[in-house]
Amino acid sequence: MKAAAKAVASELAEAKSTPLRAPRVVVRVRPLAATGGHSADGKSVYKKLAKWHDGCVVLEDGHGQTEYKFADTILDTEATQDAVYEASAREITRAFVQQGYNALLFAYGQTGTGKTHTIFGPMESWTDVRHPDAGVFPRAVCEIFDTLIPVADSTSFVLTASAMEFYMCCCTDLLDNNKPCLIGADHAPLGLCTVPLTCPEDAIGFMERVRAARTTRSTQMNTAGNGHEGSSRSHCAMILTLRQVDRNSKMCMRTTLNIMDMAGAERPSSNGEGHESAIKAVMDYWRGAEVSVGGQGVIVNFELSALRTAVVQATAQHRKRKPLVNAKSLGTSFVEYASGCFSGSSLLAMIVTLSPAPSCGWETWFSCTYGEDLSQLRAPVRPQKPRLIQKVVAIAADTATKSAADLKKTPTSGPAAKYLQKRSVQARHDKQEADLFSSLLGMVGE
Q: CB neighbours of 431 closer than 8 A, spacing ≥ 6?
A: 400, 403, 404
- CA nearest 179: which of 408, 405, 424, 430? 424
Collapsing DSSP states into helix, strand and coil, what is residue 410? coil
Cβ pair 188, 343 in contact under 8 A: no
User: Which stretch of DSSP H or E encloses residue 166?
Assistant: strand 155-167
What are the DSSP calls for 47-67, one per residue? -EEEEEETTEEEEEETTEEEE
Cα 47 from Cα 50, distance rounded (Å): 9
Read off the DSSP letter of residue 155.
E
Contacts of 122 (CB under 8 A, 6+ apart): 133
Main-chain phi, psi angles of 103, to 5 degrees: -150, 150
Rounded Cα–Cα distance for residues 251 and 355 (Å):
47
C-alpha–C-alpha distance, residues 163 and 190, integer Å = 12
| DSSP class of 182 | E
Torsion sign over Cα 96, 368, 28, 119 = positive
Locate the DSSP E strands across 208-296: 216-217, 231-232, 235-246, 251-261
As annotated, the binding site includes: 109-116
Helix, strand, or coil (residue 255) = strand
Phi and psi angles of residue 240, each rounded to the nearest 5 degrees, phi first = -100, 125
Where residue 173 falls (left for φ over 0; alpha for ψ -120 to 50; beta otherwise) is beta
Annotated binding site for ATP: 109-116
